[in-house]
DNA sequence: ACCCACATGTAATGGGTTACATGATTTA
DNA sequence: TAAATCATGTAACCCATTACATGTGGGT
């Protein structure tokens, strides 16, 4: 058993941050923070209090390395992946057990308790939710060819589950 | 503005716990804990350290009330919803803004970074993930007519997204 | 001049995880 | 009788949220 396999596994936040750095090249914690904040998912808050300490942790674990960048008056720090960081990122990314997990869905949770709604509440709830989902957050702005289709596919899938469920139990 | 609208909103854990109590009638924290633990989603850990303190919080907020139950030698406490608890539960359950949110999905997160995988890693990852999803957790055992279909529907749709994505970008 | 975006961080607080501690009852 | 399940809880630790603090640079 080598050293890396003894390391405790990355959290989803940490793994995603490493993946962003791998995609974007050297970047500031601010960019990472904004990437989370701009995510269509409310799960990723992108708060400074979460991101800056996490970067410190990742640096302490030597998965990223920083250098100061003083091209202008602004105090910037740029972080890049170390070799160990890339290995850890790959292990996180390719973790099929994690990937297969259900995660958390606020709609799914509520639909499991649909019997607690009256007929009218049910109608209103399903209608409103569908509206809000159809006018949901826009696809992220990127050049990568798979990102927008994935966003669309996922949004559509959730709307379709809601439609199918409504037909049966609405 | 009345008193309840000033209360800070329930977390998903708290809302779900109230919904379980509403569905099951008076129940022990142990039952609540097990309900979370048996959830197909890894998001709901169902740890004692999360559930017991939460019940204490909900009782302090007078959303639930407890009475001792000493029918046998075991020290049991049973909690039931108060009127305020039912109101709070309904507000949580019918929150369409929350319901429409993306939540968190470990597969979606990883697919957004598919370009960081080599062709072979991609094949292996997509294949393994699909297998694990198809042999996923069984539908919860219940008499409620909508629960099993919802579980099936959700699992199937998620597998279909993976299939569609694989066809385009695998 | 003023505001917004860029940019970095910390302090207090809240709450979840892991591990521990205890004891009764059921099942193999 | 030994193990698993029922049943309740706490303590130490970790980490995310909210709010605060500070300062630069660009646009109107």
DSSP result, A101-160: S--B-HHHHHHTTGGGS-HHHHHHHHHHHHHHHHT-PPPP--S-TTHHHHHHHHHHHHHH
| Mean pLDDT, rounded, of chain A | 94
Span B83-110, average pLDDT? 98
Give mean pLDDT, residues A65-77.
86
pLDDT at residue A6 in the model: 57
Residue B3 scores a pLDDT above 60: no
| A120 lies within 8 A of chain B by CB | no
pLDDT digits (tens, 9 = 90+) for B123-145: 999 999 999 999 988 888 888 99
pLDDT of the residue at B137: 87
Q: Is the pLDDT of residue A130 over 60?
A: yes
Give yes or no for B116 touching A (CB within 8 A): yes
Q: Is pLDDT larger for residue B57 or for residue A70?
A: B57
Residues 138-167 (B) with a CB less than 8 A from some CB of A: 144-147, 149-150, 153-154, 157-158, 160-161, 164-165
SS3 A21: helix
pLDDT band at A141 (very low <50, low <70, confident <90, very high): confident
Contacts of residue B142 in chain A, CB cutoff 8 Å?
none
* pLDDT at A1 (0 to 100): 39
The predicted structure's pLDDT at residue A30 = 98
Q: What is the mean pLDDT of chain B?
A: 94
Q: Which bases in strand D are touched by protein, i.e. have an atom under 7 Å from a CB?
A: 6-12, 15-21, 23-26
Q: Report the distance separating Cα B38 and Cα B27, nearest Å.
A: 16
Q: Which nucleotide is nearest to B48 (CA to C1')?
A: D9
Instruction: Tell me how far apart the alpha carbons of residues B109 and A94 are, in angstroms, rounded to a whole number.
Output: 11
Taking CA B35 as the corner, what is the angle to CA A101 and CA B51, rounded to the nearest 5 degrees? 100
Mean pLDDT over residues B82-109, rounded?
Answer: 98
- Taking residues A76-81, what's their average pLDDT? 96
pLDDT of the residue at B139 = 84
pLDDT of residue B6: 55
Buried b (16+ CB within 10 A) or exposed e, B79-100: bbbbeebbebbbebbbbbebbb
- What is the per-residue pLDDT for A70? 75
Residue A73: pLDDT over 90:
no
Task: Give tens-digit pLDDT for A2-51.
Answer: 444 457 899 999 999 999 999 999 999 999 999 999 999 999 999 999 99
Give the residues across from B27 on adjacent strands: B79
Phi-psi group of B26: left, alpha or beta (phi > 0 → left; psi -120 to 50 → alpha; rest → beta):
beta
Contact with chain B for residue A116, Cβ under 8 A:
yes
CB atoms within 10 A of CB A2: 6
Contact A81, A64 (CB under 8 A): yes
Q: What is the pLDDT of residue A167?
A: 97
Residue B2's pLDDT is 42
For chain B, percent of residues with pLDDT exceeding 70: 96
Is the pLDDT at B94 greater than 90? The verdict is yes
How far is the C-alpha of B44 from the C-alpha of B24, rounded, in Å?
18
Tokens of B129: 């993930």
What pLDDT is stored for residue A136 in this prediction? 86
Global pTM? 0.94
């Amino acid at each position: 058993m080598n050293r890396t396999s003894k390391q405790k596994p990355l959290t989803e936040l940490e793994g995603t941050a490493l993946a962003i750095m791998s995609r974007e090249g050297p970047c500031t914690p601010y960019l990472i923070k904004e990437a989370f904040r701009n995510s269509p998912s409310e799960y990723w808050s992108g708060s400074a209090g979460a991101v800056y300490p996490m970067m410190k942790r990742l640096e302490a674990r030597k998965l990223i390395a920083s250098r100061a960048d003083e091209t202008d008056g602004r105090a910037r720090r740029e972080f890049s992946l170390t070799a160990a960081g890339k290995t850890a990122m790959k292990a996180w990314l390719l973790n099929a057990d994690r990937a297969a997990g259900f995660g958390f869905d606020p709609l799914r949770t509520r639909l499991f308790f649909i019997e607690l709604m009256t007929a009218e509440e049910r109608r209103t709830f399903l209608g409103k939710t569908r509206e809000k989902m159809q006018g949901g957050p826009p696809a992220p702005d990127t050049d990568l060819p798979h990102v927008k289709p994935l966003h669309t596919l996922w949004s559509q899938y959730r709307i379709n589950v809601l439609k199918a469920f409504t037909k049966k139990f609405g």
